[in-house]
Structure 1
Amino acid sequence: MAKSPENIFKSFDFTSLPEKSLVSLIKRYDLQMKEIKIWEHVLKMGNYKNPILLLDPTTWSDDDFKIIECNIVF
């Protein structure tokens, strides 16, 4: 899992992963994936939980960031 996390993040059912499993995966020190890619997937998960938000975080308001924060707080 740590050597090929892309397989998990790119799977179709990634967004249905239990939050506890996602947190465990992200907290691994041996995760062989660039940090920016991990954050992109974390944001994807937060966006999946709030589909009203636009996919591009550069367009988000402060309220949008608060919504995402509530959904990805570990």
Structure 2
Amino acid sequence: MALISCDMRFGRSDEQKRQLAAGLLRVVSAATGETKDDIFFVIREGRGINFVEHGEHLPEYVEGAANDQALIQRLK
């Protein structure tokens, strides 16, 4: 059984989490041959202060991913 663990900041809607789960289940199933019934997925949410990147604590998540634009640019 495959186990997927996802840690992210509080603030995403239930629908966003459903879409994330569906997409990950789809690609993991395609990559491993496991069925969705054989994949366990868990989302853990925390405050931005609990996530540190490049030595800096992340801000709280803001709907519309406003905080994520600088992060996305740094990761490119």
Provide TM-score, normalisation by structure 2.
0.36
Question: Larger helix proportion, structure 1 or 2?
Answer: 1
Flag the structure with larger Rg. 2
Which structure's relative contact order is higher, taking Cα pairs within 8 Å and 6+ residues apart?
Answer: 2
Provide TM-score, normalisation by structure 1.
0.37
